A and B are shown apart, each in its own frame.
Chain A
Amino acid sequence: MAKFSEVLLVEDDPITIMVCDRIIKMNKFADKVISCENGRIALDHLLPLKESDSLPLIIFLDINMPVMNGWDFLEEFDYIKNDFKTIPRIFLLSSTVDPEDYKRAKQYSMVQDFISKPLNKEALEAID
């Protein structure tokens, strides 16, 4: 039995998606990994689930994506988060080295942590 039944991975790079999916499952972090290749697709996926029990409680969010990047996703999701029965916990997953990004992440209460790529066992174990 994994820690969580389902996680959402918002990421555009196919290799990263594959690697993350594998690591999450190998470490029994979640039984199911759903991936969306940008923020817009992720929001479209989440919105119908706002009152559902099957809403993923953990979201791994990349920052640099086309169409809607991580920041725009946070901005929009923050705006509508109170419509959700449960507010998912969001972990930013990025290779960024810009200190501005770390500061910016702190502005959102939903953002639990900032995980530097690659995602590994230790990072997953730290999440309860």
Chain B
Amino acid sequence: MITFSENYLSETPVFASIPGGDSLFPAKGFMVVDKHYNVIAVDEGYKMFHKLFHQTVLKSGDNIYLQVANYYPTNFNAALRNSIEYSEDDLSLTLDYKGEFSSSFKVYIDQLQHPINCKGARIIIERTEEDDSDKQEEKSESFFRQLVDHSTSIYQLTDSAFNISYSSNAVEEVLGYHASELFDKNVIDLVHPDDRDLVKEWLVNIKRQSEKLLTLEYRVRAKKGNYIWIENSAKNMLNNLGFRSIVMSSKNIQEKKIADDALVQAEQRLSLLLNNTAESFIILNSRLRIVTYNKSAQERSPHFYNKEIQSGFSVLDLIDESEIQDYITLFEQVFNGEEKEKETKYIDEQGIPHIYSHTFRPLFNAANDIFGVFITSSEVTERKNLTEQVAINSERLKTAQKIARLGYFELDAVTKTFFCSDQFYEILEIDKSVQSWDQLMGYEKNIHNQDKKNVIAEISNSILKEDDFYLEFRYFVNGEKEKVILAIGGIETSKLDNAKVFKVTLQDITETRMAMVALQALESKFKSIFDNSIDGVVLSNHTGELLSANPAACKMLGYTQQEMASLIRPDLLDVESRPVQEMIYKQNTLGEFVGELNFKHKKGHYVPVEISSISMKDANGKNYVSTIVRDITDKKKIEEDQRLLTDELLKNNQDLQQFSFITSHNLRAPVANLLSLLSLYNKENHADEFNQVLVDKFEQATQQLNSTLNDLVNVLVIKSNNNIDKEPISFTSVFTEVRKNVDSLLHERKGKIHADFTAVDEILYNKIHIDSIFLNIITNAIRYSSPDRKPEIKITSHKMDGWVMVAFADNGLGMDLKRYGDRLFGLYQRFHGNKEGKGLGLYMTKSQITAMGGKIEVESAPDKGTTFKIFFKTQKV
């Protein structure tokens, strides 16, 4: 009797003595059945044996009597039933098979005792050897044929190059080819292209390893063109004299493959479920090899392990060697039924650390045995960070103290417990052996004499009155190096035990102090620039309220600095004017403005200025506008002078052009006359009467030309001579002289002249010019007198701002100034039918006046009279 779940063939007396059969028909076989004759286990040898009696394939779970009960020989059935139901003894019998070939088998049956399921039987069959080898071969050949032709497996023989020399009939059933169609075809020809490499490798192995059965699953093309999965077991029997071939046996495993696919799909569905969770799962078997894992685990595994995980890998291969011992210890505990946790840290590409927590749980099977490990992993970075933060903060506090170089000192008022931080010693540069208040007070001598009193007073006060103190003092190290130290402290009473502790923090602020002193120096430098600048500097905010102004700006605009600081924009500028609007716009949009404006002076007048303003931010981020103001009054004046000068030049230029037009006209006119006269002259008959008339006219025209030329020369002399000699002139004497010249004319017209030069009688002028001016104007006044009145002329002098004015008023014909005003002083302009006028007089007069920087004005009304006012520029006599 044997027991269940042991090796079914162990302790079998016949096992060792059975000599090896051939590959197609093993020499031995076994089967185990339960008491209902259901197959529990069966091997290939027994299956062959079974086939001799039945056409079906026997497999686990089949009932051996289902449908086929009658086929086993009666003595076998009886022996089996007996063995299961009654006998505990082993049975042995011989079976003879008489079919296509004859063979005899020894059959051993022993009872199987299962602890729960009671009974069953083990059947071992053993083929008995034939003595006659020839007969055996014949038998074998016949048996083989019988076997292969009725088998659902394809049997094939190939030569050493795998060209098919024989195919069994099953090939037609499985693949659709007639056996003859495959003759001399190479095995590889029918293989699915995707499987060819695998098959080639397999074939090479077969060829290399004689007499070894090698199995491979691959796809073969059926006659219809579809591919069918087969399992091919092949054996190199090239050296076997009976075969001299490679023997192949192929089974159709298409259905099995479909079942496998279904299984894979089911697994995929499960993994889909697992893969959609953020948590990572990995299942290890009892040998710590990875059985399965979800997507999350695959993605994240590089964060915990050295390699990407893969089924079949041992988890110990994925970790650093240094960790192996830790992991083994951990797994030992897990296999003892404990649940363990472990954390790993991973730093990503951005340098951000990720903390993962891993839980290792044992996996139990139905028998409560541990057969694997279930690992779940999830990120706990945030949680971890929080707890670490607390730890870091306290560390930071220490570091901060160190960096800030804050010294700390504590003294318990009652227990006299004394504590100084390292920085405290460093700042005061005292020895660490100082461990008591008294010792510390020994360094009081290092405090600057001027500060000592204050320090002692503050500290004493603080201790006695429990006030806080805040003091700065100078402190000498080794009697020379001076430090500035800030000390803050006071008495603190503990809430727990009412203990009074005197606490002080110290800070070396020497450098800060120095920086402040430097800053103050810089500020004072800036202030001196601000105060002493020639240009005005005005600071204002964005709404135009002035904040401050330097002395130059104040002086320029007439305000004190205090007054300036309270001004607003409209106080200084015409905010409605276009330039100011433009400035405001540019200041607001571009943040700067450069241009010219007029600032209102305190006294009300305007100061032309050039300003350059820019928006700035102060240290507190507040916006303000800094404006540099430059007084350009002088510049403006120069510009105005230049403009006047340009205007004058332009006018002079026009005058000259006009003069040239007029003179050429006046020269051409007599020349034209001369030419015409010449053309009329009768050259053939000099005695022509008319010739004499022409000669007279010729003389007149020549005189006319000469006179015109003389006039023009006179005008040119006046015009071109800028540096005319000046001398003190008395109006009275000039008038007296002129009076003589016009006396006859005046007498003729019965006119009178009143002259009064009492207001001013003397100027610095050119004698010839002033004579000419007086003569011309007086002559005109008499010449164009009204025929209805006796001419009366009044001449008066007047002193004016910058000028001396002489007025000549007559009661003559007068003229319509609206009509002639613009031409009055023009060259060769005549207004009266009087033959005497050439249109030169007033032109000459005006030229003589303007050449000396003066001007002439006229007032007149037809038939009332005319007044000429001559303005002479005041000269110092």
Contacts and interface: CB of A to CB of B under 8 A. Distances in A.
B697 A18 contact: yes
B661 A66 contact: no
B669 A117 contact: yes
Contacts of B697: 15, 18-19
Nearest to B833: A67
User: Is chain A's interface secondary structure helix, strand, loop, or mixed overall?
Assistant: loop
Contacts of A16: 669, 672-673, 676
Contact of B661 (A65, A67, A96): A96
B664 A97 contact: yes
A5 interface: no
B65 interface: no
A42 to B, nearest CB: 13
B226 interface: no
A44 to B, nearest CB: 12
B672 A95 contact: yes
Interface string A28-66: 000000000110000000000000000000000000111
Given A66-B832, A95-B672, A19 B680 contact: yes
Interface string B823-865: 0000010111110010100000000000000000000000000
A105 B675 CA distance: 25
A37 B819 CA distance: 20
Contact of B832 (A19, A67, A94, A95): A67
A97 B661 contact: yes
A38 B831 CA distance: 11
Q: How large is the interface on A (under 10, 10 to 19, 20 to 34, 35 or more residues)?
A: 20 to 34
A65 B662 CA distance: 13
A96 B665 contact: yes
A22 interface: yes
B832 A118 contact: no
Contacts of A18: 697
B764 interface: no
Contacts of A98: 658, 661-662, 665
Given A97-B661, A97-B664, A118 B828 contact: no
Interface string B720-731: 000000000000
A61 B676 CA distance: 17
Contact of A38 (B680, B700, B833, B839): B833
B679 interface: yes
B677 interface: yes
B661 A19 contact: no
Given A23-B676, A118-B676, A15 B661 contact: no
A71 to B, nearest CB: 10
B701 interface: yes
Contacts of B834: 66
A78 interface: no
A34 B664 CA distance: 28
B750 interface: no
Given A15-B701, A22-B680, A97-B664, A118 B833 contact: no
A45 to B, nearest CB: 15
A83 interface: no
Contacts of A19: 673, 676-677, 680, 697
A37 B835 CA distance: 11
A119 interface: yes
A125 interface: no
Contacts of B658: 98
B668 interface: yes
B709 to A, nearest CB: 15
A18 B665 CA distance: 20
A23 B676 CA distance: 8
Nearest to B830: A66
A98 to B, nearest CB: 4
B833 A97 contact: no
B828 A64 contact: yes
Interface string B667-706: 0110011011101100000000000000001001100100
Nearest to A63: B665
Contacts of B701: 15
A18 B701 CA distance: 12
B676 A66 contact: no
Given A19-B676, A19-B677, A98-B661, A66 B668 contact: no
B833 A15 contact: no
B665 to A, nearest CB: 5
Nearest to A72: B819
A117 B668 contact: yes
A95 B700 contact: no
B408 to A, nearest CB: 100
A28 B620 CA distance: 103
Given A15-B701, A97-B668, A118-B672, A66 B831 contact: yes
A21 to B, nearest CB: 10
A97 B665 contact: yes
Nearest to B658: A98
Contacts of B677: 15, 19
Contacts of B819: 72
A120 interface: yes
Among B672, B831, B832, residue most surrounded by chain A Cβ atoms (within 10 Å): B672
A114 to B, nearest CB: 13
B676 A119 contact: yes
Contact of B679 (A13, A15, A120): A120
Contacts of A37: 833
Contacts of B675: 118
Nearest to A23: B676
Nearest to A97: B664
Interface string B635-659: 0000000000000000000000010
Contacts of A117: 668-669, 672
Interface hub of A23, A26, A95 (most chain B Cβ within 10 A): A95
Interface in A97-119: 97-98, 117-119
A94 B665 contact: yes
Contacts of B668: 95, 97, 117
B419 to A, nearest CB: 108
Contacts of A67: 830-833
Contacts of B700: 15
B833 A66 contact: yes
A118 B673 contact: yes
A25 to B, nearest CB: 11
Contacts of A38: 833
Contacts of A23: 676, 679-680
Which of B669, B675, B819, B830 has most chain A Cβ within 10 Å? B669
Nearest to A37: B833
A22 B700 CA distance: 17
A81 to B, nearest CB: 20
B669 A95 contact: yes
A16 B830 CA distance: 18
Nearest to B693: A18
Nearest to A18: B697
Nearest to B680: A22
Contacts of B664: 95, 97
A98 B668 CA distance: 13
B655 to A, nearest CB: 13
Nearest to A101: B661
Contacts of B831: 66-67
Interface string A63-85: 01111000010000000000000
A64 B676 contact: no
Contact of A15 (B666, B673, B828, B837): B673
Contacts of A95: 664-666, 668-669, 672
B837 A66 contact: yes
6 contacts: A16-B672, A16-B676, A19-B680, A23-B680, A65-B830, A95-B668
Interface of A: 13, 15-16, 18-20, 22-23, 26, 37-38, 64-67, 72, 94-98, 117-120
8 residue pairs, one from A and one from B, having the closest CB atoms: A66-B830, A95-B668, A117-B672, A19-B676, A98-B661, A118-B676, A118-B672, A95-B669
Given A15-B697, A95-B666, 8 more contacts: A16-B676, A66-B830, A66-B831, A66-B834, A66-B839, A95-B669, A98-B658, A118-B673
